[in-house]
Amino acid sequence: MQSRRAIASPGPLGQNDRRRQCGVPGVIELDRVAYSYGGGELFSDLSLALGPGTFHFLTGPSGAGKTTLLKLCYAELRPTAGQVRLFGEEVRAMDRDRVALARRRIGVVHQDCQFLDHLPLKENVALPLTVSGRGGAEDEDLAALLSWVGLSRQAEQLPPELSGGERQRAALARAIILSPDVILADEPTGNIDWEMSQRLLALLVELNRMGKAVLVATHDLQLIRAAKAQVQARVLRLKDRRLVAAGADL
Amino acid sequence: MSVAGRVGDLVKGDPHADRVVPPTGFTARLTVFTSAAMAFLAVFALALSMATGRLADRWAEELARSSTLRISAPEGQVAAQTAAALRVLETTPGIASARALPVEETRALLEPWFGPDLPVEALPIPQLIEVVETGEGYDATGLRARLQAEVPGAVLDDHTRWRDPLVDAASRLRTLGLTALLLIAGATAAMITLAAQAALAANDQVIRVLRLVGAKDSYIARAFVRRFTMRALAGAAAGTVLGMAAIWLLPDADPAGGFLTGLGFRGAGWLWPLLIPLLAALVAFAATRFAALRSLGERS
Ligand SMILES: Nc1ncnc2c1ncn2[C@@H]1O[C@H](COP(=O)(O)OP(=O)(O)OP(=O)(O)O)[C@@H](O)[C@H]1O
Ligand SMILES: [Mg+2]
């Protein structure tokens, strides 16, 4: 697995790992947060801290608010009550530039992927590099990353030409290309087969071992079980407007 | 970063950054066309204000320096009165020279109006004396009084009566030309703002994705600003070249009327219209930047 090492080792894509690994207190903190889209409250009085090196799963019935909770974590939404802190900074006090800088340290795999449909896959994956002014990725690094998620052949294809699973793998590649401090993944294994989801999990576990905080929202109990064999993962359940630790059966 | 550095970056561009916003054929063509049309008009407005400026200067200067003395007398007395008038003029301070126009010159003056076959001798045409002033000028009232006493058939026309309104009209035309230039710049800014807003609205999802991956407003704005600036520059350059060519091809009006001037540029004046594309780019830059930052601020 030579290509895998290219991603995990400090290189152009990972040069800040060591510095960031130590000394960041709560990477993302939600403090007594409530949120409502205008109707009733989706959840209230919800607290959660993602520290460096932690691994969390977030489960709960469809419509419980998992995606909403993740959106609060990357400041796409602002809480209706309570506080959200990103890297120690209160979200409400951050202007758009600060939010942009914080998002470069948070890799997100969106449930609906969010690609630029006019750009080929490899440029979509390199987009965080492009917008942060670091130009495109080094070709070998990008090739290594794409080959790790099994998308070397699709590098030149446009996102609408990809299968659901290919899009999700591409989304993960884009989420980690800046070597972020946190990885938030919303149903990352929704459309992919068992073998590929194991590879994806292995990548997340490896990133976690490098000190990154990982939060995965998923319905996939098998995935959670497989993960618990490899890392110390906390499983949280969003139910009846509350966040609770899941039962011991998981 | 220095202004020059930023302009350099804007012109060079970042090939990656340029691609993040998909090309939009319609607003692109709209901007190029608008800038070209506006630049074409601007060349004419500029030519108008420069030509009228020249005209005003020339009329003010040349007509101020010359006057005409007209002698209308019964046939037998014309020669005697002309000689008397010339004597008066020679002794008037402030007059550099006075010259009775020979028949051929009078005929040449009338030719544009009556045609070449005019029998000047058969017509009761007054004798004209051309008077050229020195820099200080002469006292017109005093001269008129002396002429009345010594040369009863002489009428002094010092041109002020019709020169002043002409000079006035010319300088107003120049002001109108400059106003037209300002209006053209304003209309260009308005149209480019609209096109930029349309492009921003059409790329709503692109902007959303760029923000999700950590793009700052300034980065997103730059992608649009650069595009519109380059389009305005290209369009305006084409329009300016066409406008200058059209003016170059205008028939030359100079020989026809002694003090008229063609609607064109003279000498170094041809360099002025070259500023139009740069100004158009500047206007597009400011308008798109304003539109982009405002619309990005609104959608947060
Ligand atoms: N933009 C929105 N405006 C109004 N209501 C919304 C909006 N987005 C989500 N909701 C509602 O909020 C609730 C939570 O949605 P959310 O997407 O967070 O659920 P989820 O737990 O991620 O569900 P799933 O497992 O199906 O992805 C849903 O009832 C949804 O209809
Ligand atoms: Mg969801």
Q: Count of domains in chain A? A: 1
Q: What CATH number is attached to the domain comprising A162?
A: 3.40.50.300
The closest alpha carbon to B173, from B56, B39, B38, belongs to B56
Quick one: which of A166, A170, A123, A165 has its CA closest to A146? A170
Half-sphere exposure of A27 (CA within 13 A, CB side): 25
The pLDDT tens digits for B160-208 are 767 778 788 888 888 999 999 999 999 999 999 999 999 999 999 999 9
DSSP state of A248: T
- pLDDT greater at residue B218 or residue A135: B218
Q: Who among B208, B214, B300 is closest to A131 (CB)?
A: B214
Please tell me the distance in Å from A13's CA to the nearest CA on chain B.
Answer: 15
For residue A62, the CA-to-ligand 1 centroid distance in Å is: 8
- The phi and psi torsions of B96 (rounded to 5 degrees) equal -80, -45
- Residues (pLDDT < 70) of chain A are 1-25, 135-138, 247-250
According to the model, what pLDDT value does residue B254 have? 56
Torsion of CA B103, B106, B110, B112, to 10 degrees: 100
Can you list the positions of beta strands (E) in A37-161? 41-50, 55-59, 81-86, 89-90, 106-109
Question: Which residue has the CA at smallest separation from atom 28 of ligand 1?
Answer: A63
Please count the residues of chain A.
Answer: 250
Contact map slice: B 225-244 vs A, CB within 8 A = none
Q: For A37, list phi and psi in degrees, rounded to 5.
A: -85, 10
CA pair distance A176, A22, nearest whole angstrom? 19
Is A107 in contact with A184 (CB distance < 8 Å)? yes
d(CA A176, CA A67) in angstroms, rounded, equals 19
For B55, other C-beta atoms within 10 Å of its C-beta total 21
From the list A200, A238, A217, the residue with the least C-alpha distance to A110 is: A217
- CB neighbour list of residue B76: distance below 8 Å, 6 or more residues apart: none
Q: Distance between CA atoms of A58 and A213, rounded to whole angstroms?
A: 13
Query: What span, in angstroms and rounded, lies between the C-alpha atoms of B149 and B208?
Result: 93
Q: Write out the two tokens for B4.
A: 């020059």
Give the span between the Cα atoms of A188 and A179, in whole angstroms: 18
Q: Within 10 Å of residue B137's Cβ, how many Cβ atoms?
A: 14
SS3 content of chain A, % helix, strand, coil (to 5): 40, 20, 40
* Domain boundaries along the sequence of chain B: 3-60+164-299, 73-152
Which ligand is nearest to the Cα of residue A60, counting in written order? 1
Range B219-226 average pLDDT: 91
Closest CA to A192 of A172, A176, A213, A175: A172
Nearest residue (by CA) to ligand 1, atom 9, is: A68
Q: Within 10 A of A228 (CB to CB), how many other CB atoms are there?
A: 15
Q: What is the pLDDT of residue B125?
A: 78
pLDDT score, position B134 = 80
User: How far away is chain A from the Cα of B203, in angstroms, using its nearest Cα?
Assistant: 10
Interface test with A, best of B213, B219, B296, B299 (most A CBs within 10 A): B213
Kind and range of the H or E element at B67?
strand B66-71
User: Nearest CA of chain B to the CA of A135: how many Å?
Assistant: 7
Q: Return contacts of A191-197, CB within 8 angstroms, 24+ apart.
A: A191/A163, A191/A164, A191/A165, A191/A167, A192/A164, A192/A165, A192/A168, A193/A165, A194/A222, A196/A150, A196/A165, A196/A169, A197/A223
Query: What residue has token string 């659901």?
Result: A164
pLDDT of residue B73: 82
CA dist B259 to B66, B131, B166, Å? 13, 17, 12
ipTM over cut 0.90: no
**Token pair in block for residue A53:** 């090196």
Would you call A55 helix, strand, or coil by DSSP? Answer: strand
Which residues of chain B are within 8 Å of residue A178 when distances are taken between CB atoms?
214
Report the SS3 class of residue A186: strand
Residue A1: per-residue pLDDT = 36
DSSP assignment string, A27-41: SEEEEEEEEESSSSE
Dump pLDDT digits (tens) for B230-286: 999 999 999 999 999 998 888 766 554 544 556 778 888 889 999 999 999 999 999
Ramachandran area for residue B272 (φ above 0: left; ψ -120 to 50: alpha; else beta): alpha
Q: Which helix (H) or strand (E) holds A129?
A: helix A127-131
pLDDT digits (tens, 9 = 90+) for B92-122: 888 888 888 887 788 777 777 777 776 766 7
- Report how far residue A102's alpha carbon sits from residue A29's, in angstroms, rounded to the nearest whole number: 13
What are phi and psi for residue B153, nearest 5 degrees?
-85, 5
Question: Which residues are within 8 A (CB) of A58 and not within 5 positions of it... i.e. 6 or more apart?
Answer: A66, A69, A70, A215, A216, A217, A218, A236, A237, A238
pLDDT, tens digit (0-9, with 9 covering 90-100), for A119-166:
999 999 999 998 988 766 567 888 999 998 889 999 999 999 998 889
Structural domain for A143, as ranges: 4-249
Percentage, residues of chain B above pLDDT 90? 34
Structure tokens at B292: 């982009």
Least CB–CB distance from B217: residue in A96, A110, A128: A96
Cβ contact A87:A102 at 8 Å: yes
Q: Look at ligand 1, atom 11, and give the residue with the nearest C-alpha.
A: A63
